[in-house]
């Protein structure tokens, strides 16, 4: 799962004026060390509901969308339960615990192959993470990827794909790649996007599986607004602190700016575990950009399969995720 970096350091940009002048971009924008904005009321979502993420406002109609490609998605409890059960049964949870504890920690940018649950997985330390971060990724090989698809089908994820496909106004959706992310200690990461230039057709669905056991843990994610504004030639973005909930996932699409906030959980086995599911609608125009978002060390569909394979279709209700019986 590659990340498009958007550094915090000032960069040269241009403000649309009659006479174009150089300005500096500074993101995110803080006031007195605190985020500038809160998010609109985050009432608990029903399973498979899809909601646009908005900034808070006293006037319901005045609420501004954070980004046109940023949503929250209600997650059915059975989906989370089945994924966690698989993680425990196949040794993924135990492997994540060893990585977090430092027993098998990898250096930045390094990866290795591991047998988990009888299948091949790739364990890697993101190249962009700081030396003090213990974030690691676990990505399935082909056999484990196929098993994940079967698990999602068994847990009713077809309904979630349908809800997202309709909300995103796409013609079809395909599950492209899986990655588990575990972390208990991380310096504030660089602002980045997960996808860009795909025509609004590729997304990263982040499902919280295990969160910190400390209920007082602060928000774990920084989210930046889509629209820049200027003060004395300086470009700013609205920023808010987002706290994960196991009842809902967050969906990032093109140019949805965000960053992992500083975290440091204490206690053995106290770490955050997330599942990243890359989904999208691939066509000849966006194929290369969609592929750019994939992790190089994880299994993915071939370019031909990306064009042809669908797991949900707007025009064909028989298109579904594969089951172990259908293959």
Segment 201-232, tens digit of pLDDT: 999 999 999 998 887 888 889 898 887 777 77
Average pLDDT over the chain, rounded to an integer: 84
Angle between helices 77-89 and 142-154 (to 10 degrees): 150
Residue 9 confidence class, pLDDT cut points 50, 70, 90: very low
pLDDT attached to residue 32: 38
**Residue range 129-152: mean pLDDT, rounded:** 89
**Residue range 175-197: mean pLDDT, rounded:** 89
297/155 Cα distance (integer angstroms): 27
124/276 Cα distance (integer angstroms): 14
Residue 117 confidence class, pLDDT cut points 50, 70, 90: very high
pLDDT attached to residue 327: 58
Distances (CA, A) of 302 to 77, 88, 122, 126, 299: 32, 30, 18, 23, 9
Residue 247 has pLDDT above 60, yes or no: yes
Residue 62 confidence class, pLDDT cut points 50, 70, 90: low
């Amino acid at each position: 799962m590659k990340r498009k970096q958007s550094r915090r350091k000032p960069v040269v940009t241009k403000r649309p004026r009659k006479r174009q002048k150089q300005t500096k971009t500074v993101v995110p924008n803080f006031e007195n060390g605190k985020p500038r904005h809160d998010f609109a009321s985050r009432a608990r979502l029903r399973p498979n509901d899809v909601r646009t993420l908005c900034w808070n406002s006293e006037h319901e109609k005045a609420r501004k969308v954070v980004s046109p490609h940023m949503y929250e998605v209600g997650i059915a409890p059975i989906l989370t339960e089945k994924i966690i059960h698989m993680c425990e049964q196949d040794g993924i949870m135990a492997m994540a615990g060893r990585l977090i504890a430092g027993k098998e920690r990898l250096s930045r940018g390094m990866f290795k192959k591991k047998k988990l649950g009888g299948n091949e997985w790739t364990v890697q330390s993101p190249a962009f993470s700081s030396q003090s971060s213990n974030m690691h990724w676990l990505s399935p090989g082909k056999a484990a990827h196929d098993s994940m698809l079967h698990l999602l089908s068994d847990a009713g994820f077809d309904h979630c794909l349908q809800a997202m496909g309709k909300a995103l106004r796409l013609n079809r959706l395909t599950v492209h790649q899986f990655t588990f992310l575990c972390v208990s200690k991380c310096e504030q990461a660089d602002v980045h996007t997960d996808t860009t230039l795909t025509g609004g057709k590729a997304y990263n669905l982040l499902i919280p599986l295990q969160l910190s056991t400390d209920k007082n843990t602060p928000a774990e994610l920084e989210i930046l607004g889509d629209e820049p504004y200027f003060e004395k030639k300086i470009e700013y973005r609205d920023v808010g602190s987002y706290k994960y909930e196991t009842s809902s996932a967050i969906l990032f699409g093109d140019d949805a700016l965000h960053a992992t906030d500083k975290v440091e959980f204490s206690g053995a086995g106290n770490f955050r575990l997330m599942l990243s599911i890359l989904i999208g609608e691939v066509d000849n125009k966006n194929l290369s950009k969609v592929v750019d978002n994939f992790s190089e060390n994880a299994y993915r569909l071939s370019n031909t399969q990306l064009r042809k394979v669908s797991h949900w279709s707007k025009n064909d209700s028989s298109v579904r995720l594969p089951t172990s019986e259908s293959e």
